[in-house]
Amino acid sequence: MEGFSVDYHQFGGYSGPWSWWQRKFPESFRIYGEPIRWAEPNLDFLAAALGELPPGLVYHPAEDRFYFKDYLHKCAYRPTSNDRVEALARKLVVESLKEAPGSIKEASRLLFQSARGWMERSKAILAVEGHFFTGEGGHRRWIEGRFVEAPQKPSVVLFAENCIQRKKGCILSAPDAYQFYSEFCSNHGIPADKKTAFRINFAKEVKKRWKLGLRNDLKVGGKTLQGWGELAVE
């Protein structure tokens, strides 16, 4: 009925065909509704459900990768792949079918087939802000067999502070800047941002520190490149 909605919690919970999902992911269910809406997978609910699991899945946009909380390593966050997130989505559907009524088994096929869509939508629903892994209260990580403590400042800021200086007559191309930045992060055991995120954040930091904008007309070795004039790597 148009304009009519039911607050399931008002009546002591939900007892419809998607009750398994409601019990397992009550907050996602409350905010986004049932897993299937208008005969289509409700990707917002499904993405949020992945974050409501005990591992605490999050997505870090700057690095373009997912992290989960590893309880075996003092609750440090550990990176995981898109493929594993997609596999986790499919595993949930299989688990839900153990007690699913026959009326939704065909609908659940849609959920299984849309697992990649869950993963992609999770990049928006489960995205964390840049300070999630930095500064006071930032979360530690477990990467490549060791703990990575939360640095006090974002990696791009640390790179600018420690490696970049203003110098007349010099040119720092965007590709070179990212190469030096990647080496800096590797040498200091800091996870590096992806190239696109680095370029955006580094441009902001350069503008803030030296009042220099990103240029598209720099001449380097006979080629026209994007980058910054009057900047050099120390």
Mean pLDDT for all residues in the chain: 89
pTM (predicted TM-score): 0.80
Question: Please, which residues bridge with residue 165 across strands?
Answer: 232
Using CA atoms, how far apart are residues 74 and 71, in angstroms rounded to an integer? 6
Provide the pLDDT for residue 220: 77
- In contact, 177 and 160? CB cutoff 8 Å: no
Helices marked H in the chain? 19-24, 26-32, 43-52, 82-96, 105-113, 115-125, 155-163, 174-187, 195-210
**CA torsion, ordered 159, 160, 161, 162, to nearest 10 deg:** 50
pLDDT digits (tens, 9 = 90+) for 108-144: 889 999 999 999 999 999 999 988 999 888 999 999 8
pLDDT value at 3 more than 50: no
Segment among 1-5, 91-95, 162-166, 210-214 with least mean pLDDT: 1-5
15 pLDDT band, cuts 50/70/90, is low
Among residues 171, 151, 168, 147, which one has the least CA distance to residue 159?
151
Domains belonging to the chain, first-starting first, are: 8-147 (no CATH), 153-233 (1.10.10.10)
Using CA atoms, how far apart are residues 76 and 133, in angstroms rounded to an integer? 10
Provide the pLDDT for residue 100: 72
The one-character DSSP state at 148 is E
| Percent share of the chain, pLDDT over 90 | 71
Mean pLDDT of all residues in 160-187: 95
